[in-house]
Amino acid sequence: MEDKMEQMKELVNRLNEAGKAYYQENREIMSNFEYDALYDQLLELEKETGIVLSNSPSIHVGYEILSELPKVRHEKPMLSLDKTKEVPTLKDWLDSQDGLLSWKLDGLTIVLTYKEGKLFSAVTRGNGEYGEVITNNARVFKNIPLNITYKGDMVLRGEAVIKYSDFEKINAEIEDVEAKYKNPRNLCSGSVRQLNNEITANRKVHFFAFGLVSTAGDVEFHNSRKNQLLWLKSLGFDIVENKSVTEDNLEETVKWFAEHVAGNDFPSDGLVLTYDNISYGISLGTTAKFPRDSIAFKWVDEIRETTLKEIEWSASRTGLINPIAVFDPVELEGTTVSRASIHNISIMEALELGIGDTIQVYKANMIIPQIADNLTRSGFIDIPKVCPVCLHPAQVKQVNDVKALFCTNSECLAKKIKSFTHFVSRDAMNMEGLSEATIEKFIAKGMIHELADLFHLKKYKDEIVTMEGFGEKSYKNLISSIEKARSTTTAKFLYSLGIQNIGLSNAKLICREYKNQFNEIRNAEKERLLTIPGIGDVIADAFIWFFRNENNQIIIDDLLKEIQFEPSEVAEDDSVNLLEGKTFVITGSVEHYANRNELKEVIEQKGGKVTGSVTAKTDYLINNDNLSNSTKNKKAKELGIPVITEEEFIQMIQG
């Protein structure tokens, strides 16, 4: 008995530690697979002993919430769901009732309240009693109606989720190993539970309603959950995909879902069965943790044993090199699988992997191949001493809890190709006609070494037009899109540099804080960076480190010679009266502004004055042609008034 108490205490501690990481920090310190196995062990012990420790996760929902978001108490407690993996249990549970079977979506549960036809609040489940208010974030979900035709008070529940396809793209942008998310659920939770709704907006969060909690009582649902969902749909909500079931067709309907899970772009970790009869369901009441009107069905993970053949090391743009397990092919959930990401070296070490080991593999949520366990644990993987791409030394670095491998060579080809590809991508400098393959060829032929070289590809015209897949026309298109890219915004430029964790939305936030003054941005100080929502210690340090790096400084200086920031953006910065008391005269044609008038407006917006002729009171003459012999130029020379080009003027106002 004492033994069992000790075991229970240990299990509770381990599960709570994992729950804390999972619910509070959107992190996983163990796989769901391991968590569920330990949880089942705990349930078993609780049943045997008849004792439930007061802090047992079996009687608590979620975890105590500790975030900067405001909290509110739920009108009705938000519970978890009892689970089974057995279809017969599901059938017994349904008995002769009509049921509704739907995907159990794997994201973040949200309660929405509407008042007078408008979205009034959005709150997370939290610890079931208190949730976090995330109304502003919900407003930028992809598919939530902000206004509905129903005007009474209404409360509904649903799941916020991120598609697998979006997850891949978004996670790829997050370069910091520690900040990377293992699955769409954690990414979704991290995207919704934070203070900055611009981040939420970029993370493409979708909401699917799965239950109506209350209305003003003036809508007739004929006591049916299905009717409630259809009504929500008619108001403009996307509802979770569901099917009506009875005990007769339950088994085949479960099968239908099982066959369709792989084609589902939205992550789900099972199914939910609910009684269609509303009053019957409510009459059953709840346990401390579960409502009795619904039950979750979890897939029995198909687990296969196989042999680990090798570890492949896959490099990425920031030099991070990740281990991938390659094993003898096995059939899993209907497809052949032979590779699974191990995420980082810490996980590899925890599994004590060695070549030839017998490992168990499964597909998390029936989709993502994972290693469940290593049965033989020989633990002798050589971590490469050199980068698999450039053969320069590779180095293991520890960031808090996570150990990962990095290439130390900033010239690493993989890094280079990726940094070019990123630089030219649509949200960055938007240069068309430069696929990854083309970039690789240009690098291999020595045409481009650093980013600024892209602006000098004209030099290689003869070579390029004869390259495979290129002709006169595509060459011309390429050059014209490169020329167009010379005019850009500060945020796009900052984003294009490929700094760790600086996606477009972070870049915009930083530019806003620094009023688009690139010179200030590159000399940013940590304290001020930390005042920007979404910028924490890790990001700020990486940011500052990036700009201190001498090599990066050269790259940036070279780029700044090639590009200009859009004048409109410069004009937007109305905070500083930078040109107060200064008088300008403009002559000759302008290139960066649409016309002289636009340039005049910018000067005036910044507190300066523009006059028509050069006098002793003139501070600057703006003229792109230094050798011009116009009367204005002559006069300026006579009076010793500086003649500056448009470019120099732009530099002046950009600080």
Ligand X SMILES: NC(=O)c1ccc[n+]([C@@H]2O[C@H](COP(=O)([O-])OP(=O)(O)OC[C@H]3O[C@@H](n4cnc5c(N)ncnc54)[C@H](O)[C@@H]3O)[C@@H](O)[C@H]2O)c1
One-letter amino acid for residue 590 of the chain: V
Query: Counting beta carbons within 10 angstroms of the beta carbon of residue 120, is it exposed (0 to 12), middle (13 to 18) or buried (19 or more)?
Result: middle
Q: Could you give the string, one character per residue 156-185, with x where binding to ligand X holds by CB under 6 A and - elsewhere?
A: ---x--------------------------
Q: How far is the CB of 115 from ligand X (least distance, A)?
A: 22
d(CA 595, CA 602): 11
Q: Which stretch binds ligand X (CB under 6 A): 18-26, 133-141, 148-156, 164-172?
A: 18-26
Per CB under 6 A, the list member of 8, 11, 26, 32 interacting with ligand X is 32
d(CA 171, CA 322): 14
Radius of gyration over every alpha carbon of the chain, rounded to an integer in angstroms:
30
Query: Residues with Cβ < 8 Å from 562, sequence gap 6 or more?
Result: 452, 455, 486
Residue ranges in 359-398 that form contacts with ligand X under rule CB under 6 A = none
Q: How far is the CB of 61 from ligand X (least distance, A)?
A: 6
Q: Which is the catalytic residue, given 4, 91, 104, 226?
A: 104
Q: Could you give the string, one character per residue 279-318, with x where binding to ligand X holds by CB under 6 A and - elsewhere?
A: ---------------x-x----------------------
Question: Which option in Zn ion, ligand X, none does residue 407 bind, with CB closer than 5 to 8 A by kind?
Answer: Zn ion
Task: Specify whether 416 is catalytic.
Answer: no
Question: Which option in ligand X, Zn ion, none does residue 391 bind, with CB closer than 5 to 8 A by kind?
Answer: none
Q: Which stretch binds ligand X (CB under 6 A): 104-112, 311-319, 374-382, 646-654?
A: 104-112
647 is in an annotated binding site: no
With helix as H, strand as E and coil as C, how does 141-176 read? CCCCCCECCCCCCEEEEEEEECCHHHHHHHHHHCCC
Residue 483, classed as helix, strand or coil, is helix
Q: Determine contact, residues 123/134, Cβ cutoff 8 Å.
A: yes
Q: How far is the CB of 418 from Zn ion (least distance, A)?
A: 11
Query: Residues with Cβ < 8 Å from 321, sequence gap 6 or more?
Result: 313, 314, 315, 384, 387, 388, 394, 404, 405, 406, 407
Residue ranges in 259-278 that form contacts with ligand X under rule CB under 6 A = 272
Q: Does position 62 bind ligand X by CB under 6 A?
A: yes
Residue ranges in 223-252 that form contacts with ligand X under rule CB under 6 A = 240
Q: Which of 500, 526, 501 is nearest to 513 (CA)?
A: 526
Question: Which option in ligand X, Zn ion, none does residue 390 bind, with CB closer than 5 to 8 A by kind?
Answer: Zn ion
**CA-to-CA dists, residue 57 to 18, 149, 310, angstroms:** 10, 41, 38
Taking the least distance from each CB to ligand X, the nearer of 126 and 498 is 126
Taking the least distance from each CB to ligand X, the nearer of 272 and 586 is 272
d(CA 196, CA 190): 11
Task: Give the largest Cα separation in the chain, rounded.
Answer: 103
182 is in an annotated binding site: no
Taking the least distance from each CB to Zn ion, the nearer of 254 and 405 is 405
Segments of 215-261 assigned E as strands: 242-245
CB atoms within 10 A of CB 236: 13
- CA torsion sign for 471, 475, 476, 481 is positive
Q: How far is the CB of 332 from ligand X (least distance, A)?
A: 19
Q: Does position 493 bind ligand X by CB under 6 A?
A: no
d(CA 269, CA 275): 20
* Beta-sheet pairing, 294-297 with 83-84: parallel
> Tokens 């968590």 map to which residue?
35
Per CB under 6 A, the list member of 26, 80, 196, 496 interacting with ligand X is 80
Per CB under 6 A, the list member of 30, 213, 326, 447 interacting with ligand X is 30
Q: Which stretch binds ligand X (CB under 6 A): 24-32, 140-148, 167-175, 189-197?
A: 24-32
Binding-site annotation: residue ranges for NAD(+): 80-81, 125, 159, 298
Binding-site annotation: residue ranges: 80-81, 125, 159, 298, 387, 390, 407, 412
Catalytic residues, by residue number, are 104
**Interaction site with ligand X (CB under 6 A):** 18-19, 22, 28-32, 35-36, 62, 80-81, 102-105, 109, 159, 210, 240, 272, 294, 296
